[in-house]
Amino acid sequence: MGLKFYADRGSRRTRQIVADVALALWCVLAIWAGTVVHDRALVAQSGAQKLEHGSSSLALDMTDAANAVAKVPFVGSEVRTPFDKAAGTATDMAGSGHDLATGLGRFAVLLGVLTAALPIVLALVPWLLTRLRYAVTAGRLARLRSMPGGRRLLALEALTSASPRALAAIDDDVARAWQDDDPEATRKLADLSLATYGLRLRDDVLENGVREEDVLDGGATDAEE
């Protein structure tokens, strides 16, 4: 199945390109915002890391002090007990600080990812659905215009989808003209069907000086991009 993502006509193609560029800029902005939020969230982690490092240092100091007083004759083992308890408490605090720092780091990553991902998904999903829907339909029409007899099929599609005013601008009895295989009416109908999706049969101006834009302004059904 062939897909056609961009129109042939300048105005429609320009709008599509502008939409693509806008989406890309939006994604870049969302990623930047996610990075900023992540960095701000890491500020809290630095406090937990300071607690971990300070407690670890205190535990080492208390252990060294306990080892030093343990050398005091007769009472060394009793004197070192408070230092050992303080060292144990400091070690527990260091462990708590480590766990807190790890949790805050994971939270910062999650918060940053969500900050970036949610706006991207909210913009990307409708853009993708719209563009795929357009690409499938435009690809089908592009294949029809290159097929033998495809022009009549395109003309028939215009008969079933275009507004009465747009059809009347082509011929007073456009259905009869199509049934009679009138080449002029068939070409205009096929061109109208393609123009609805920004595609071109041959050029932007219909024969007899009638512009396709004027026909479309008469009420051709606009398709979603």
Radius of gyration of the chain (CA): 36
Worst-scoring range by mean pLDDT, 15-29, 63-77, 98-112?
A: 63-77
Are 158 and 65 within one domain?
A: no
Confidence of residue 77 (pLDDT cuts 50, 70, 90): low
Q: Which of 119, 146, 173 is the last residue of a domain?
A: 146
**Distance (Å, rounded) from C-alpha 8 to C-alpha 17?**
12
Are 119 and 186 within one domain?
A: no
**101 is in which domain, residue-wise?**
1-146
What value does the mean pLDDT take over residues 25-49? 87
**Distance (Å, rounded) from C-alpha 126 to C-alpha 214?**
30
User: Sign of dihedral through CA atoms 188, 190, 195, 196?
Assistant: positive
What value does the mean pLDDT take over residues 59-67? 70
pLDDT tens string 158-209: 888 888 888 888 888 888 888 888 888 888 888 888 888 888 875 433 433 3
Are 114 and 141 within one domain?
A: yes
- Rounded percentage of the chain residues whose pLDDT exceeds 90: 23
pLDDT tens string 84-128: 677 677 677 777 777 777 788 888 889 999 999 999 999 999 999
Whether the pLDDT of residue 36 is over 90: the answer is yes
158, 189 in Cβ contact below 8 A? Answer: yes
Q: Which of 129, 146, 163 is the last residue of a domain?
A: 146
CB atoms within 10 A of CB 4: 19
